[in-house]
Structure 1
Amino acid sequence: MSEVYDCIVIGAGIQGSCSAYHLAKNKQKTVLLEQFVLPHSRGSSHGQTRIIRKAYEEDFYANMMQESYELWAQLEKEAGVKLYRPTGLLVMGPENGEVFSKLKATMQRNNIPSVFLEKHEFSQHIPNLNLTDGNGALIDNVAGVLFADRALRAVQGVYLSNGGVIKDGEKVIDIQPGDIVTVTTESGVYRGKSLVITAGPWANKLLTNTGLELPLKVVKINVCYWKEKVPGTYSVGHRFPCFIQLEPKEGEYDIYGLPSNEYPGLMKVCYHMGSETEPDERDKQTDRGDIDILKRYVSRCLPGLIPVPAIVESCMYTVTPDHHFVLDCHPTHRNIVIGAGFSGHGFKFGPIVGKVLSQLAMGEVPSQDLSPFRIQRFKSHSRSHL
């Protein structure tokens, strides 16, 4: 019981692993706790690919991504592994719609290298994709594909080489706040001057121990892969980009796609929302309403794909009411730091999220303005029982 860490991090997904990495690089004695044996596919950080982009409606995300790109490049150097492939990102949406207009304006204001495609030139730039009537199209030139599993392994490897400790297969069963925080797992007891909670879908379960509840909703996502009629049609080799279809007519959520990568001859096309679930009972959630929407979209807009998914995998999003992250200190216990609610678009921010959470844990001023991510914005929702 004598050992006291500078920081304990709970949850070894991308956000927790990046937090631990930054802490270890700052000479903080750190232990990273993970309930499952690594690697695992039970949370939100597994799988081969994610989109990385600067194309956002909000300036604060565009600014964060500037630093995130720099940190990904630094991690690539440290790990000696390629983590990112530039492909560009095609964004399509109702031309006069609020979201597309705001996105376009933010990209111009932040000087994000981009191309706006006129309707008459669309098919020559983007073959095998039908632009929906009334939609505009732009390309984020610096976007691409992040190799997710590889990135997670890389950041954990650099963390370990900086003296960090990982304890996997250790589910946290109790947290006792205090000047020294005590964390009890099924296998041991850990004490730390600070605690970072990055537990994804299990965040609220852990926060109960600290007298806090956040308005987080956990949803299961069907991750769908669609077979190319002619192999290679939607590949990086054919210069096919990642894409986001904003607000498709049939639902209020986006559809996104990545060129074939993890399964040769299959393209990843997914609906950006799922059905509510309990994280420990994810696979009991069998709703496929999103797949019906995707089938119709693929039939209409991606004629080179067979409009029935060849593979369906599972992932989880932890969603806040405004779809923005939670990056903040606990309202009652300032040495407990919370990173939660990444709402299905957090992976690309991993290195910068890890940096700001580590800065909060060390009592430093964060390198980014965290006002959009404060717990206080949920005042009507969150309740501290202490």
Structure 2
Amino acid sequence: MAEVRDPERRFYQYIVVGCGGVGSATVYWLSKRVGSDVLGIEQFHIGHDNGGSQDHSRIIRLAYHDDRYTKITPDTYTAWEEVEKESGIQLVYHTGGIKFAKKNELGHVIDQYAEAMSKHGIKYERLTGSQLHEKYPQFETDDSYTALYEEKAGLVDAAMSISVQIQLARAHGASVIDNCPVRRIDKAPNGHIMVYTANGIYQCRRLLVTSGAWINNVLQSIGVHVPIYVTQEQVSYFATPHVKEFTKEKYPIWIYHGSDRDYYGLPSHGNSGSKCGIEMGGVVVTPETRTYIPDPVREKYVTDFLKETIPRSLGPIMYTKTCLYTMPKDRHFVVDHCGKMRPGWDNVIVCNGAGHCFKFSCLLGKILSEMAVDGKTQYDVSNFNIDRPAITQPGWTPEMYSETGGKVPVGAPTSKL
């Protein structure tokens, strides 16, 4: 059925605040369970580019060196497949994926990926730098490099995913309101949650907050603060003259682990060229202070790296696009209810994707829907609890915040957001 929203309706069993990657998935999975009893609220238009869920493509992969993620990465594919089957639209493209590093720098990180994948029965292939070049001639690597190849890795069409999940949710009867900022939340005498918005007051039995960098804007009115920091990151698209070599059929997604910084790249998809960015390292901002202006120094880092490693991917920069990463200090997900921080608020469930969750977003939506409807989930999210030291201890300082290491940016531990 098409969405026929009653503008006078003010009570829903479930309300989702924030309809980006995770939020759109949550509305979708809830709608499959409860139909018209779910409302999604988005402060901007659906598919906006103000946060972290945007752009043509995002990496999806099984390869993680951390059991917290490796044990659920296969389920991410299953979740996406269900959306693809219902919609008839392809969202995931299997390009294959490469993880590589200099052996004498961070070769041990590639070993950690192999160990974690072996533990969970995930297939992979170890490659020398020469074998990587033989498999993908685009990579100018010799045996000073070590690599890991994963066949199932690829990309997710990010913009299409959000659009499709919202469309399917509406087809199941869900209501979705965009351009509707949430001002605050409160509790009614009957225990229902009151959601004050620019469009009036709504009530629900359970509230799910998936609002990215604006998470504390929503939660502050109930006395809950999730200590996160927000960075402005960027990716560049190159108009390579060697177009045929950088299609999804010829060129894998890849992640390079370096001693100074990590890089990642994707093949051409949508109306873009070959894509490359630095993983992390952007300036600490707030949603209000971010500039949308690319950093030319970071563009040069990317260009210099590609000149050395994948030179045929280069060409004029078509454009460089900024986005926000929103992360706890340990850079792990938060998937939990707020009652652990503020007694009496168990019916508010919060999710933060820590700047690396789009590949997981469909599965996280399913997990959140189960937590909301059933009070628990079949998936192990126990390590993403909201009362862990990185969240609750103000002085907690990590040794590393990204997959290979690197200090938390200056200002991050005391960031207000």
Using the size of structure 2 for normalisation, the TM-score is 0.85
Distance (whole Å) between structure 2 residues aligned to residue 295 and residue 222 of structure 1: 13
Q: What displacement does 1:351 show?
A: 1.7
User: Is the CA contact 1:204–1:213 (under 8 Å) kept in the aligned structure 2?
Assistant: yes
User: Is the CA contact 1:221–1:275 (under 8 Å) kept in the aligned structure 2?
Assistant: yes
User: Is the CA contact 2:107–2:146 (under 8 Å) kept in the aligned structure 1?
Assistant: no
Structure 1 residues without counterparts, runs of 5 or longer: none
Q: Residue type of the partner of 1:40?
A: H
User: Is the CA contact 1:24–1:30 (under 8 Å) kept in the aligned structure 2?
Assistant: yes
Distance (whole Å) between structure 1 residues aligned to residue 240 and residue 292 of structure 2: 30
Q: Any idea what SS the aligned residue of 2:239 has?
A: strand
Distance (whole Å) between structure 2 residues aligned to residue 141 and residue 306 of structure 1: 25
Q: Residue type of the partner of 1:227?
A: A
Match of 2:326 in 1: 318
Comparing 303-312 with 5-14, greater Cα deviation is found at 303-312
Task: Give yes or no for the alignment of 1:366 onto 2:377.
Answer: yes
For 1:239-285, what per-residue CA distance to the aligned partner results, in whole angstroms no more than 9, with x for missing partners? 21110001x2333xx21100112235x21001111211121332266
Match of 1:22 in 2: 29
Match of 1:135 in 2: 145
Q: Residue type of the partner of 1:243?
A: W
CA RMSD of aligned residues (A): 2.0
Distance (whole Å) between structure 2 residues aligned to residue 83 and residue 2 of structure 1: 33
**1:130-209, aligned counterparts within 5 Å?**
130-131=140-141, 134-177=144-187, 179-209=191-221
Distance (whole Å) between structure 1 residues aligned to residue 216 and residue 146 of structure 2: 39
Q: Residue type of the partner of 1:68?
A: T
Distance (whole Å) between structure 2 residues aligned to residue 299 and residue 196 of structure 1: 45
Q: Any idea what SS the aligned residue of 2:58 has?
A: strand
Distance (whole Å) between structure 2 residues aligned to residue 255 and residue 308 of structure 1: 19
CA gap 1:75/1:245 in 2 versus in 1, 3 angstroms: same
Distance (whole Å) between structure 2 residues aligned to residue 49 and residue 143 of structure 1: 13
CA gap 1:313/1:132 in 2 versus in 1, 3 angstroms: farther
Distance (whole Å) between structure 1 residues aligned to residue 113 and residue 100 of structure 2: 11
Q: Any idea what SS the aligned residue of 2:71 has?
A: helix
Distance (whole Å) between structure 2 residues aligned to residue 284 and residue 311 of structure 1: 12
Comparing 218-227 with 161-170, greater Cα deviation is found at 218-227
Q: Residue type of the partner of 2:76?
A: S
Match of 1:34 in 2: 42
Q: Residue type of the partner of 2:31?
A: A
For 1:85-134, what per-residue CA distance to the aligned partner results, in whole angstroms no more than 9, with x for missing partners? 11000110244644222111011121212111133322210102123764
**1:205-284, aligned counterparts within 5 Å?**
205-237=217-249, 239-246=250-257, 248-251=258-261, 254-263=262-271, 266-273=273-280, 274-283=282-291
> Aligned match of 2:392 in 362, 365, 379?
379
Q: What displacement does 1:21 show?
A: 1.3
User: Is the CA contact 1:295–1:307 (under 8 Å) kept in the aligned structure 2?
Assistant: no
Q: Any idea what SS the aligned residue of 2:113 has?
A: helix
Structure 2 residues without counterparts, runs of 5 or longer: 1-7, 396-417
CA gap 1:256/1:286 in 2 versus in 1, 3 angstroms: closer
Q: Any idea what SS the aligned residue of 1:223 has?
A: strand
Comparing 150-159 with 308-317, greater Cα deviation is found at 308-317
Task: Give yes or no for the alignment of 1:293 onto 2:304.
Answer: no
User: Is the CA contact 2:47–2:162 (under 8 Å) kept in the aligned structure 1?
Assistant: no
Comparing 145-154 with 95-104, greater Cα deviation is found at 95-104
Match of 1:105 in 2: 115
Q: Residue type of the partner of 1:140?
A: E
User: Is the CA contact 2:92–2:154 (under 8 Å) kept in the aligned structure 1?
Assistant: yes
User: Is the CA contact 1:90–1:244 (under 8 Å) kept in the aligned structure 2?
Assistant: yes
User: Is the CA contact 2:240–2:316 (under 8 Å) kept in the aligned structure 1?
Assistant: no
User: Is the CA contact 1:298–1:307 (under 8 Å) kept in the aligned structure 2?
Assistant: no
Distance (whole Å) between structure 2 residues aligned to residue 363 and residue 357 of structure 1: 10
User: Is the CA contact 2:54–2:158 (under 8 Å) kept in the aligned structure 1?
Assistant: yes
Q: Any idea what SS the aligned residue of 2:165 has?
A: helix
CA gap 1:298/1:185 in 2 versus in 1, 3 angstroms: same
User: Is the CA contact 2:293–2:322 (under 8 Å) kept in the aligned structure 1?
Assistant: no
For 1:270-317, what per-residue CA distance to the aligned partner results, in whole angstroms no more than 9, with x for missing partners? 111121112133226654432232122111111113366331112111
Q: Any idea what SS the aligned residue of 1:90 has?
A: strand
Distance (whole Å) between structure 1 residues aligned to residue 132 and residue 19 of structure 2: 42
User: Is the CA contact 1:92–1:245 (under 8 Å) kept in the aligned structure 2?
Assistant: yes
User: Is the CA contact 2:67–2:116 (under 8 Å) kept in the aligned structure 1?
Assistant: yes
Distance (whole Å) between structure 2 residues aligned to residue 101 and residue 318 of structure 1: 28
**1:337-376, aligned counterparts within 5 Å?**
337-340=349-352, 342-376=353-387
Task: Give yes or no for the alignment of 1:122 onto 2:132.
Answer: yes
User: Is the CA contact 2:253–2:265 (under 8 Å) kept in the aligned structure 1?
Assistant: yes
Provide the identity percentage. Answer: 27
CA gap 1:375/1:42 in 2 versus in 1, 3 angstroms: same
Q: Any idea what SS the aligned residue of 1:155 has?
A: helix
User: Is the CA contact 2:20–2:47 (under 8 Å) kept in the aligned structure 1?
Assistant: no
Distance (whole Å) between structure 1 residues aligned to residue 47 and residue 107 of structure 2: 41
Aligned pair count reads 376
Q: What displacement does 1:145 show?
A: 1.4
